[in-house]
Amino acid sequence: MTFRQAQDERSAQPLTLFNSLTRQLEPFQPVHEGEARVYSCGPTVYNYPHIGNMRAYVFADVLGRTLSHKGYKLTHVINITDVGHLTDDADAGEDKMEKMARQQHQSIWDIAQHYTQAYWADIRALNIREPAKWSIATKYVPQMIDFAKSIADKHCYELDSGLYFDVSTVADYGRLARAVTEEGEGRIEAVEGKRNAADFAIWRKTPPGEKRQMEWDSPWGKGAPGWHLECSVMSGDLLGFPFDIHTGGIDHREIHHPNEIAQNQAFCCTNGLDVPANSGARVWMHNNFLVERSGKMSKSSGEFLRLQLLIDKGYHPLAYRMMCLQAHYRSELEFSWEGLGAALTRLKRMIMAAERLAGVTPGEARHPKLASMLDAFEKAIGEDLNTPVALTALEDVLAAKKVDPSAKRAAVEAMDAVLGLDLFGTTRADLRLKPKGTEITEAEIGDVLARRKQARADKDFAASDALRDELAAKGVEVMDGDPLGWEWKLG
């Protein structure tokens, strides 16, 4: 079978995705044949992302990889919010970027630059593929003003504080959230003069006598765009309405995405685009939260769980990716250090099995012995990205006996292209990270271990035990007979 045929076979297999709009599983049907256009809400770069935020991008990455695997030409856009996201979902709050810049005595541009780089470092560490485009919000302000101008007459009204979107001007406002009238409105702080509690600012005017670090001229005076407007404009501009899939964390299902949809509806109607439901995207997908035992994950309370903290404690970042894959994206996932340790061990076993295929040239994956595993994988990933089941299919392939290594290698490569664990690019040694603050070097450990080996060969067990204790005193645990073949680890 040629690669093309294999690809046709894969894309012939159905892909169903859970659409938050309908709260149903739906077969994926691209707007443009053979293509998939995906927009993911990106981070607000006022601080480091926490690992919960990164779960949203691992999910979006698996979605993108699955679409590529199924044969679609993928165009993925992730934005960087460097202006406009307020400290709460209320329009009365302060811009997160302005606030952080003031606290850190730096310019907003420096803050944005620093935290965007930090976010990209996490993206790379988690083996998340680069999207076709990172769209930076501040580079789209003229387009935002044009968009707002085009809907202002019919759908907006002006107050002293800004230009507001009147949610009663679009049909079915908030159907994505399903409970907007009660819950959603209750969460939005009142701004004097708003017609409906759920109305939101699409342009925020700079208050008289104040100067913001980031402000632009507009028909409504100097000011800055609202956060919801940014995503509507960048997604529509770069992917064209309607595009296929819009993703984000489950919190966005309540306010941010209903507001984007309202703007998209207004924009599409005004511009004579008659698209199904005019929601901008056909499918809206949301990942559930990563939570801590104590509750919601936050950047301010307790230990700030950012990826670098995991690395400093000696956990390879791909162990966190593994942890994410072990749960379905629509389930809540509770973070624990024990869980992360278990994910690291699982990854290590897989990498050891993959090491046995090093140097093997991939051949034909569809080997009779692997057929059921390949089918199980396709079915799992095609059923709303069931990564926990897909992972076990991959493990079954790695463990399969008496299978031509070239078939095995091809099957593992194909599956790992979807799951992104980088099994052939990572070695067992790469996974062994030294916790921050460890003084001893690998060479020193190797040296002591060599002496210990000699002592054991000489049956000098007292010396061997003394060397083991010497390492233990430096935080190195010697692991004789470790089935994972690590020999030692740093505690």
The residue ranges that bind ligand AMP (CB under 6 A) are 41, 43-44, 52-53, 55-56, 248-249, 251-252, 287, 289-290, 297
Alpha-carbon Rg of the chain, whole angstroms?
26
Stretch that binds Zn ion, among 43-51, 98-106, 230-238, 469-477 (CB under 5 A): 230-238
Q: Which does 53 bind (CB under 5 to 8 A by kind): ligand AMP, Zn ion, none?
A: ligand AMP
Pick between residue 231 and residue 365 the one whose CB is nearest to Zn ion: 231
Task: Assign 3-state DSSP to the chain and report helix, strand, coil percentages, each to 5.
Answer: 45, 15, 40
Nearer to ligand AMP, 41 or 136 (CB): 41
Q: What distance lies between CA 9 and its chain's CA centroid?
A: 28
35-40 and 488-490: which strand pairing? unpaired
| Beta carbon nearer to ligand AMP, 35 or 251 | 251
41 binds Zn ion (CB under 5 A): yes
The smaller minimum CB distance to ligand AMP, of residues 185 and 251, is found at: 251
Which one, 22 or 298, has the nearer CB to ligand AMP? Answer: 298
Query: Any binding-site annotation on 260?
Result: yes
226 binds, among ligand AMP, Zn ion, none (CB under 5 to 8 A by kind): none
Is 41 annotated to bind ligand? yes
* 297 binding partner (options ligand AMP, Zn ion, none; Cβ < 5 to 8 Å by kind): ligand AMP
Helix (H, G, I), strand (E, B) or coil at 63: helix
Choose among 391, 386, 394: nearest CA to 17: 386
The distance of closest approach from Cβ of residue 203 to ligand AMP in the complex, given in angstroms and rounded to an integer, is 20
Q: CA-CA distance, 120 to 330, in Å (whole number)? A: 24
DSSP H helices in 95-226: 96-104, 108-125, 141-155, 185-187
Should residue 231 be labelled a site residue for Zn ion when binding is judged by CB under 5 A?
yes
| Cα torsion angle, 79, 127, 420, 491, sign | negative
Q: Which residue is nearest to ligand AMP (CB)?
A: 249
CB of 226 to Zn ion, least distance (A): 11
CB 419 within 8 A of CB 387: yes
Name which of ligand AMP, Zn ion, none residue 56 binds, using a CB cut-off of 5 to 8 Å depending on partner kind: ligand AMP
Place of tokens 């470790």: 482
**269 in a known ligand binding site:** no
Q: Which amino acid is at 351?
A: I
Q: How far is the CB of 50 from ligand AMP (least distance, A)?
A: 7
Count of chain residues binding Zn ion (CB under 5 A): 2
Min dist. Cβ of residue 285 to ligand AMP (A): 11
**Annotation-wise, does 231 bind a ligand?**
yes
CA angle (158, 187, 167) in 5-degree steps:
40
By a kind-dependent CB cut-off of 5 to 8 A, residue 251 interacts, out of Zn ion, ligand AMP, none, with ligand AMP
CA distances, 21 to each of 29, 39, 177, 324 (Å): 15, 16, 8, 24
Q: Which does 290 bind (CB under 5 to 8 A by kind): ligand AMP, Zn ion, none?
A: ligand AMP
Contacts for 130 with CB less than 8 Å, ≥ 6 apart: 123
Structure tokens at 459: 């049956």
- Tokens of residue 439, six digits: 């003084």
Strand order in the sheet with 295-296: 295-296, 290-292, 333-334
- Which positions make up the binding site for Zn(2+)? 41, 231, 256, 260
**Binding site, annotated residues for ATP:** 299
Residues that bind Zn ion (CB under 5 A): 41, 231
Residues making up the annotated binding site are: 41, 231, 256, 260, 299
